[in-house]
Structure 1
Amino acid sequence: MKPSAYNLYLLAKIPIAFLAGVRVKKLSPQSCTTRVALSYLSQNPFQSMFWAVQGMAGEFSTGILLADLISRRDLKVSMLVRENSAVFTKKARGKITFTCSEGEAITRALDTLTLHQEPLILELHSKGVDASGDTVSEFTFVWSLKLKAAVV
């Protein structure tokens, strides 16, 4: 799907992310980039972006890349975030861009999933940078993947 289709998906299925300003900017088989801007709805009391808004944008950069690569294979896969962790290194102000560039790792994991048909765990990373190119946060999301049973 195109980034615009995923943005409509956010509006329909996860309206809080859409209202906070999370948008998919770029999507390819190798990477996904999301962006969110500091606004009234995304700020904290310290004049920077609320950590949870950054987390949504970071999660979507990993999850949308994963979902897109699953969709390209026409697989039915159950996806669940099992764990996440984050490191914050600078106040997030202005537009923050989150990128997950782990399409090759996802492709290898999907090969393993379809070959062995056993659930697997996949760790994906997203890095948030500001307009100056400075890293403001880094997220790790541990995804659980399981093939759904075929309905006969």
Structure 2
Amino acid sequence: MELTVSKFNRFIFFKLPSAFLCGVRLKQIDENKCVVSVKHRWINQNPFNSMYFAVQAMAAELSTGAMVIYQIQKSGRKISMLVANNKSNFSKKATGRITFVCQDGHLIADAIQKTIATGEGQTFWMKSIGANEEGVQVSEMDFEWSVKLK
């Protein structure tokens, strides 16, 4: 089964309901790039009139993790995945529509090939940049993913 944007958004509804309720949506995915969007609304606000940091983290993580799922599915192998670490930097208030873009898909294929070849777990860092509607960066998040053959 091919992974599409609409199928993945359905997956978010059933498996990540808090992200779905906060408005996190996948907009684009391929093996190298993933785009996730979320709009600042009442349900995802903080007391400072901007988007709560955890909502930004959900969207940023999804922009990295969706590509990991995509490439695991493409490999045809049973591979587990887990976030091992994360780092974040918030540089501006997140208001309006925030779009998170990750372009580190090339790192996943290497890790999957190595875990299949060696049977040992592999880790790699992926970066997601969140920008507002004007294109101004509001946050930058890094996630360390671990993949291992089941």
- Corresponding letter in the other structure for 2:12: L
Describe the SS at the equivalent of 1:82. Answer: strand
The answer for the alignment partner of 2:77 in structure 1 is: 75
Deviation at 1:110, TM superposition (A): 1.3
The answer for the alignment partner of 1:58 in structure 2 is: 60
Structure 2 residue 109 is matched with structure 1 residue 107: yes
Describe the SS at the equivalent of 1:75. Answer: coil
Give the TM-score normalised by the residue count of structure 2.
0.96
Structure 2 contact 99–131 (Cα < 8 Å) conserved:
yes
* Residue ranges of structure 2 left out of the alignment (5+ in a row): none
Deviation at 1:45, TM superposition (A): 0.9
Give the total of aligned pairs.
148
> Root-mean-square deviation (CA), in Å?
0.7
Deviation at 1:91, TM superposition (A): 0.3
Describe the SS at the equivalent of 2:44. Answer: coil
Aligned counterpart for 1:35 among listed residues 27, 37, 42:
37
The answer for the alignment partner of 2:145 in structure 1 is: 143
Describe the SS at the equivalent of 1:24. Answer: strand
Describe the SS at the equivalent of 1:44. Answer: coil
CA distance in 2, matches of 1:134, 1:39: 19
The answer for the alignment partner of 1:8 in structure 2 is: 10
Deviation at 1:145, TM superposition (A): 1.0
Map 1:113-132; keep pairs closer than 5 Å: 113-132=115-134
- Corresponding letter in the other structure for 1:77: I
The answer for the alignment partner of 2:86 in structure 1 is: 84
- Corresponding letter in the other structure for 1:76: K
* Residue ranges of structure 1 left out of the alignment (5+ in a row): none
Structure 2 residue 23 is matched with structure 1 residue 21: yes
Give the TM-score normalised by the residue count of structure 1.
0.95
| Moved beyond 3 Å, runs of 4+ | none
CA distance in 1, matches of 2:82, 2:75: 19
Write the deviation string for residues 34-62 of structure 1: whole angstroms up to 9, x where unpaired: 00000011111111000000000000000
